[in-house]
Structures are given as structure tokens and as C-alpha cells.
Amino acid sequence: SSDGLVLTNAHVVTVQDESGREVDGAVFTLKMSDGTVREAKVLGKAPDFDIALMRLTDTTNLTPITLGDSSGLRVGDDVVAIGNALDLGDSPTITRGIVSALDRSLRESSTVTLHGLIQTDAPINHGNSGGALVDARGHLIGINSAGVPDAQNIGFAIAIDSIKPLLVDLEAGRTPTATPTAFLGVSVSQTPSGVTIVSVTDGSGAGKAGIEVGDMIKKVANTDISTIEQLGEVLRTIMPGTTNMVRVLRDGVQIDLNVQMGSRDD
């Protein structure tokens, strides 16, 4: 931002001492796009979301990036990932790609699972973490988070719309925590006619309620469903352990089933 705020990944700015304890108050050196070097300190971190907010100590002559709107993204949209891949040089690296999928989940560590991710085929290697994912207009639509080792052209970014609600707490030094997210227990595919179930997890709420492969999800609770993004949004509003109506279309017949939701972090 024009007043020196910088977004990055929490894991990028986490410093530990020899005993493994986290060190607070570390000062980081940031290289700007014009080659100058400035210092920055962490204002706040949200490890549950792998997001951190920093502030530059020198805020003169900054040209801030424009925050975009990730809710408007569509599969196939052009994107550019910016970072310092593999730490190969002093200048940023830029890789181009498209949005491959939306609303992905990724277990980043034994304690952190990220949700609502943007999947892209723009290569995201070591050193790209914490960098910007921008759209065709150059607007920030995500923070690069992770690539998949030994996989070709599979990278993930944290959608900017999931970061915006965290900014007030982060700037004030508070730590936002993730709300438990409901797990329906199915894998789905987007088809021209809607969201179709391609697999059902054994022992899940969906399986116990009688949801089957090939069913098309038409409604969850009070929300009509026609896209995977809509399904992800409504599941993030539902508490694990609650029972909710799921309407499916099977062989041309609509069926209402009561599903007890699990937790995506189980």
C-alpha cells in the first residue's frame, strides 16, 4: 500500500531460534522493484491462513499494487505469478499461466489446511511463496502459497477475497484464527448442468445419508447450488456437527437428504 503495508505468507516471515522457538520482532530486508532495499517489520500473522502483514520503515515514493476481486475469477482466466523463484537472482521472476481451478483445499502442514485456493498452471517454485498472483489488468488476486513437488504446472495461491477480512486484525497485531469448516464428504466435478458427485468418502455424512456417485447437488441448506464455488461458499458458513438438508438430482428425481456435516480438518 502507499503507506508501506506488505502482504506475504506467514511461513515466509516465521523465524525460529536454535531451540525451535519463534523469534518475535525480527527485521526483514525487502528488495523493491527498482532495486532499492528497505527494511520491514511484521505487524501481524495469521498462521491458520498462512498470511502475514508487514510494514516498511521507509514509505517514500511507493507505487502500490491495486487489490483485485478474486470472486470474479473464472477457470481459464490469464494470471501472472511474481516472485523470486529458486532465489536465482536479484530481480523478480515472472511466470504466466491460467486459472486451472477454484476453491481448492491443500494441507500445508500437520496443523494447517488452506481452503478456497486458486489453482494455477503458472509455475510456483521455492521463492515464489509470498509473491503476487495478478490478473490480466495487473490487479492482485492472490498470494502465491505453494507448488506441488514433483508435479508439473500445479501451483496454489490464497485468494485475495479471503485475505481482505483479515487485514484489520493483522494491522492491529491480532491473530485471526480459522473457523472450523464443514465437510460434506464428496468430491465433485463441474458439468454444464451443475455440480456432479464423482466420489463419496466412506463413513462421511454424505455416505451415511445415502448420497451416491452421479448425484447432482442442487441445494444445500437454503442455498441453491449450480457451481462448485457456490458449494464451497455455503459449506464455509456451516458448522461441523450440524445436520443440514442436501437436495440432489438422481435419475431426474429430486431427493432431499439430511446430512450431518463433518470437519474438513479432521
Which residues does the annotation mark as catalytic? 11, 50, 129
Q: Within 13 A of 87's CA, how many CA atoms are on the CB side?
A: 1
Grid cell locating 261: 456435516
Are 265 and 113 within 8 A, CB to CB? yes
Are 227 and 195 within 8 A, CB to CB? yes
Are 93 and 83 within 8 A, CB to CB? yes
Look at residues 117, 121, 113, 115 and name the one whose alpha carbon lies nearest to residue 102.
Answer: 117
With vertex at residue 90, the alpha carbon angle to CA 117 and CA 136, rounded to the nearest 5 degrees, is 40
- Number of H helices and number of E strands within the chain? 4, 18
| 3-class secondary structure, 21 | coil
Cα Rg of the chain (Å, integer): 20
Q: Within 13 A of 115's CA, how many CA atoms are on the CB side?
A: 18
CA dist., res. 218 & res. 115, Å (int): 22
| 3-class secondary structure, 166 | helix
Grid cell 464428496 is found at: 186
Grid cell locating 112: 494447517
